[in-house]
Structures are given as C-alpha cells and as structure tokens.
Amino acid sequence: MATTPAHLGGERLTPADSAADRAAPAPAGAGGGPGDLPRHVAIIMDGNGRWARSRGLPRIEGHRRGVASVRRATEHCVRRGVGRLTLYCLSSENWRRPETELAFLMCLLEQYLVEERALLMEQRVRLSMIGRREGLPAETLAALDRTVELCAGNTGMHLCLAINYGARAEIVEAARRLAREARDGSLDPEAIDEARFAAALDTAGSPDPDLLIRTAGEMRVSNFLLWQISYAELWVTDTAWPEFEERHLDEALAAYAARERRFGGLAAP
C-alpha cells in the first residue's frame, strides 16, 4: 500500500487504481447530455438528527437509519456506473456535539466497516478515507485500516469516507507541505500551480467531484471539499438522509445529465 501522510486513513492514488480514478479530467464543455454520468459524486449526508426528532426518536436512531442509506447509495452508484463516491461522514466541527452522540457515531462507524466488508468485496468496491486520524478511537481506526486493506485490490467503484474532515484544514496543511518543500530546497515556489497544489491535498490523484448532493434542504457546503468542488454541479433535496433512496439518487443523476457544463466558457452554438 502506498505511503500516506499521517493524518490520512486511505492511500494516495497510484497507477494501479481503478480506471475511473485514472481517467483524464473532463474537457471544458463536457457533460450535460442525456445519459451522461458524473465520474465522481460527493454527498453531504445531512438531517439524521432532525429526522429522528421529528418522529420523537433519539438522535442516535437517525444515525442508525442513516447507515442503511449509505448502503443504498453505495450499491446504487455501483449499479449506475459511477466511478467514485465520497461521503461526508464526520466533519472536524462535529466534535462539538455531545460526547454520548460522538461515542455512538464511532461505534456505528466501526460496526459499518466490519459488517459491510462482504458487500464491499462482492461489489468490488475500493475503500479509502480522507480526514485526520488524530482523535479517532483506536478500535475504529483498526477496523478502517483492515477494511481498506481488504478492499485494496478491488477494481470497481472507489468509495471514499470523509471522517474528521475539514476542507480549510486540508488546504492549510497542503500549503504547509509545499512551504516545507520550498524551505528544504526541493521545490521552486514559482513551480507551484493549481495542479501542484492539488497534488498536495488529501485527494491527490482523484478526479474532482462532478456532482455534489446535499440532503435535508440546507443550502451550504459546510467546509467540504472546498478546493475540489469549484466546478461541481450542486443538487439539494429536502429529503433527510435516513429517507434518501435510490430514486432520489436517480433524480440527482438525471438533473446532472440535463445540465450543460461550460467551466466558464460559452455554450456551444
């Protein structure tokens, strides 16, 4: 497995990665035709707690139900031929929540990583993580690392879990990494361009998200993949994550296919 920065749970992409991850960036103007699929879908899974409260249930029940939505979304992305799926599981800001809820989330994540291994292998899904390992329980990290290892040879869809992740911290760390290289003389500051900076991010080697989905109706990106979603198409649904089903994902994919992506250029005549 490739060497990674200490705060990452997955590995940086290598030439042996899936064809979807190795694909060249989409040219300006690509996409937006009937049947077009995003190569990379990112989802902000929101509304678990509100869904539970609206039904008189504890917040943790919303998180428990949300795991079933993760399974549905993963399997349906595989069926539809999406190359990469990134799920925002836990932000760095979520540590402000009650300790009991956080402990439950960590147990739920560990349980998911163990119980889903057979399905991930059956679907040939490759797994990685972005975010900081510091602060995560040792048992959760052990389950994560073992599942990543088991799935490393899979050649199907790439599933990336953003855990203890914050985009601003990611960007700051990338800047520090490049600054250290410049200080040590291994990098000319004038050689730093967008591609070089992107290569210093946690998502190095991955195509940027083409489609960003957010559930529960909130109209914000919540410090998620700020660099990478510069040209992502946004799709927001009022449906809370525990009730997010295959039909909602199909609606998002259809909306993406109907859009014309110009990347700052002009529409074709």
| Residue 17, domain member (yes or no) | no
Contact between 244 and 73 (Cβ < 8 Å):
yes
* 118-127 confidence digits (pLDDT tens): 999 999 999 9
Catalytic residues: 46, 94
DSSP class of 190:
G
CA distances from 122 to 66, 94, 113, 156 (A): 22, 32, 14, 10
| Residue 111, domain member (yes or no) | yes
* 155-176 confidence digits (pLDDT tens): 999 999 999 999 999 999 999 9
CATH number of the structural domain spanning residue 235:
3.40.1180.10
| Residue 104, domain member (yes or no) | yes
Q: What is the pLDDT of residue 4?
A: 34
CA 106 to chain centre: 18
Contacts of 7 (CB under 8 A, 6+ apart): 131, 132, 133, 134, 173, 202
Contact between 83 and 206 (Cβ < 8 Å):
no
Q: Specify the pTM.
A: 0.86
Q: How many domains does the chain fold into?
A: 1
Domain that holds residue 47: 38-166+210-257
Point out which residues pair with 128 in neighbouring strands.
160
| Residue 188, domain member (yes or no) | no
| Residue 200, domain member (yes or no) | no
Q: Which amino acid is at 74?
A: T
Q: How many helices (H) and strands (E) does the chain have?
A: 9, 6
Number of Cβ atoms within 10 Å of the Cβ of 38: 27
Point out which residues pair with 112 in neighbouring strands.
none
| Residue 9, domain member (yes or no) | no
| Residue 184, domain member (yes or no) | no
